[in-house]
Structure 1
């Protein structure tokens, strides 16, 4: 029976283990009609985790931009986006998904290295600003596509998500082949060239999110916690040539209005962050690479922070104070995603009745029993409506009878990576093994079992 199921999985996932021939056109490929009703049934937990990771990985592999190799911002053309829009941070998450795919032998190690090398060489020639990359690119030309009216230059947060993936790649591809050597070297050159301390705007003790050659610092967005940007400060402290000091972390990151919390919600204490924790991506984006197990500094125990934030989010959905249809122990998870009203940062304080599958699935390390219940419900009970060629769609609302058709790179990537961290710790081991990362964590005053003495 198990062999039959595995054969069926392979039939539903064409092209794995074989070179993917991309069309010369950079237009989005037209996917064959996908019939979710024919998905495999009666899978074991391990088979289901395999299938979800593998199918979600296809977003980055089959749907990656043919010229740049980077991750497309989203699967649908919406909000005036075109087929050319690729995303810097989502590409970092995609690189981590490609590493998982190589390690699980869905693709060969050489295929994975070739794709990541293609991305790196594209980025070397693309627009950058003091070594920092923008939020969006034209995936065919490497020119900036502005994210907002003045957001047409460096985005240090998106750049940190990118390098979270690239550092994992540099630690993974340690072979002696010419390809792996070249990949490591080119990642190192890019990494060394990022001027993290430029984003202190002349030596202030805080990082600024944006800088533009046309608009300078006029967006004036200081990065204060608690949110998804811890990784930005960690990497800025880890830089070989342009590192920040601890006082930038203490006087910048750790001084936001929503940094310290300390209150209890449903009898669960939340050390940091806004009331009820905010959207769950706070616990995902920085922690695809940063291992929260035993990670502590003067402000928090980050395993406790992330687990408690997750359990507050889960308990809110179970309590369901707004009495939305479909919420419960097997259907939970509020985070930023598409909704019937457009994109929204769903959380207990902004609850539109929309469940985002990435929220519960990427929480697998923190709440495995609750996440597995949600995964089985999403797949077995709702799969006809929300399962697709690229995994689960971005969001759904049974209350409003709305089911997204879209996928977003920044939501699909954490599903692959965080499930893998739950299963094997692969990405955590890679990222935390970087000597630069370990030095940066020490600089900022972190302790962790993964930091060498």
Structure 2
């Protein structure tokens, strides 16, 4: 009972009611008042999971852009861009976090629908290219913000993360009232307008990541596996109007030097991908919606792939060949995040001594025991340094006595969504219930108990 009272006070006193619809400005007073040392203690596992999901959700709700409602790229001003930058893929993850919040009644269903509808209506008026959105937009104007010198147009992968969330929303908001009907219809119109096949660059059997009205196909980045982009091919095959054929998947995605693996690391076989698996977000981004349980195709069993990838990452951190301070059974997880050297794609092959909380926490469905050990350590033991108004900070290194102050949308979103998939399977059920998705998976040769015959 004492823990429940502390939790209630924790929510109401520092921030006011979370259920306010208006997003907080960038310099919200809540940020300056927050004291991680006052966090609730002695929580049960379920209370702790609730708290972490709900606190992390605030990144997308309280800190969402006040004009567009979209997710800001990051919580700090860095890399010479400011608070106006919103992220397409991170917004898709944020939409899924909003659905979780509605289901768990942290906000009302009506508030969730209204916020997502606000995002959708903004996107309908924003820059897009053959229906495909850029990586970054100006959250006030909807104009593209260049990600790199030639990356000033369509980003097919970021767009796939966005629609992963929007498809979940369309499957969730099914009530027959005006607000939910409007939301479903507008999502459908956007979804039907994405020209996935345009990114075959003239009919080639591969998808290309970028196209720009200023630079055309000059970035010339083919999307090969195995990495975070499986969702891109799944959605491209699922498109109602601009779908790809299976040969694009087989000859485009399922090729390259880092698709098949089959070797064992720490006595664990890795079917696909880089040696040691690469950063853990490979097993998070696609699988926020796509349910890996029992999901198989001619190339892999995706539950085995994701679980083994996680077990290898965990085993590497326990082995700790570089002898970094702080690594161990309760402090593990290497994935892309901020570091003391800037942004880095941390993995066993690029180990800088930085633990990224999103890595172990978003792996909750695959390794619940190991992930809970990490969660309790991050919160109970390191919380004074890494717990914040928007959940855990992006990364930390005990070796270098460095603790990030930043949060990134693409790291916060998977924490909410993957913990929820572990607890209830909510997002997996929603995404897999889409007839379009089921048709696309069937076309590509996938098997799953959730695919209706």
Same topology, TM > 0.5: yes
Q: Counterpart in 1 of 2:298?
A: 298
In structure 2, C-alpha distance between the alignment counterparts of 1:176 and 1:272, rounded to whole Å: 43
Aligned 8 A contact 2:23 2:64 in 1: no
In structure 2, C-alpha distance between the alignment counterparts of 1:58 and 1:408, rounded to whole Å: 12
1:295-346 Cα shifts (integer Å, max 9, x gaps): 0000000000000000000000001000000000000000000000000000
Q: Counterpart in 1 of 2:5?
A: 4
Cα deviation, residue 202, structure 1: 0.5
Alignment of 1:92-131 (within 5 A): 92-131=92-131
Aligned 8 A contact 1:96 1:417 in 2: yes
Q: Counterpart in 2 of 1:261?
A: 261
Alignment of 1:51-62 (within 5 A): 51-62=51-62
In structure 2, C-alpha distance between the alignment counterparts of 1:188 and 1:32, rounded to whole Å: 41
1:4-56 Cα shifts (integer Å, max 9, x gaps): 23423433673445323347xx7554523211000000000000000000000
1:416-450 Cα shifts (integer Å, max 9, x gaps): 00000000000000000000000000000000011
Number of residue pairs matched by the alignment: 451
Q: Counterpart in 1 of 2:393?
A: 393
Distance 1:285 1:359, change over 3 A: same
Q: Counterpart in 2 of 1:151?
A: 151
Cα deviation, residue 176, structure 1: 1.1
Q: Counterpart in 1 of 2:420?
A: 420
SS at the partner of 2:32?
A: coil
Aligned 8 A contact 2:206 2:248 in 1: yes
SS at the partner of 1:329?
A: coil
Q: Counterpart in 1 of 2:407?
A: 407
Matching of residue 352 in structure 1 with residue 349 in structure 2: no
Q: Counterpart in 1 of 2:376?
A: 376
Q: Counterpart in 2 of 1:322?
A: 322
Q: Counterpart in 2 of 1:165?
A: 165
TM-score, normalization: structure 2? 0.98
Cα deviation, residue 164, structure 1: 0.2
Aligned 8 A contact 2:22 2:66 in 1: no
Distance 1:449 1:9, change over 3 A: farther
1:168-188 Cα shifts (integer Å, max 9, x gaps): 000000011111000000000
Distance 1:12 1:363, change over 3 A: farther
Q: Counterpart in 2 of 1:240?
A: 240
In structure 1, C-alpha distance between the alignment counterparts of 2:280 and 2:412, rounded to whole Å: 14
Cα deviation, residue 400, structure 1: 0.1
Q: Counterpart in 2 of 1:64?
A: 64
In structure 2, C-alpha distance between the alignment counterparts of 1:408 and 1:349, rounded to whole Å: 22
Aligned 8 A contact 2:21 2:111 in 1: no
Q: Counterpart in 1 of 2:187?
A: 187
Distance 1:117 1:292, change over 3 A: same
SS at the partner of 1:183?
A: helix
In structure 1, C-alpha distance between the alignment counterparts of 2:20 and 2:434, rounded to whole Å: 30
Matching of residue 89 in structure 1 with residue 79 in structure 2: no
Deviates further, 174-183 or 11-20: 11-20
TM-score, normalization: structure 1? 0.98
Q: Counterpart in 2 of 1:334?
A: 334
Matching of residue 221 in structure 1 with residue 221 in structure 2: yes
Distance 1:332 1:22, change over 3 A: closer
Q: Counterpart in 2 of 1:21?
A: 22
1:354-373 Cα shifts (integer Å, max 9, x gaps): 00000000000000000000
Q: Root-mean-square deviation (CA), in Å?
A: 1.1
Aligned 8 A contact 1:395 1:403 in 2: yes
SS at the partner of 2:338?
A: strand
In structure 2, C-alpha distance between the alignment counterparts of 1:440 and 1:16, rounded to whole Å: 41
Cα deviation, residue 86, structure 1: 0.2
In structure 1, C-alpha distance between the alignment counterparts of 2:124 and 2:16, rounded to whole Å: 29
Cα deviation, residue 81, structure 1: 1.4
1:225-265 Cα shifts (integer Å, max 9, x gaps): 00000000000000000000000000000002100000000
Matching of residue 278 in structure 1 with residue 278 in structure 2: yes
Aligned 8 A contact 1:17 1:108 in 2: no
Cα deviation, residue 64, structure 1: 0.1
In structure 2, C-alpha distance between the alignment counterparts of 1:151 and 1:391, rounded to whole Å: 31
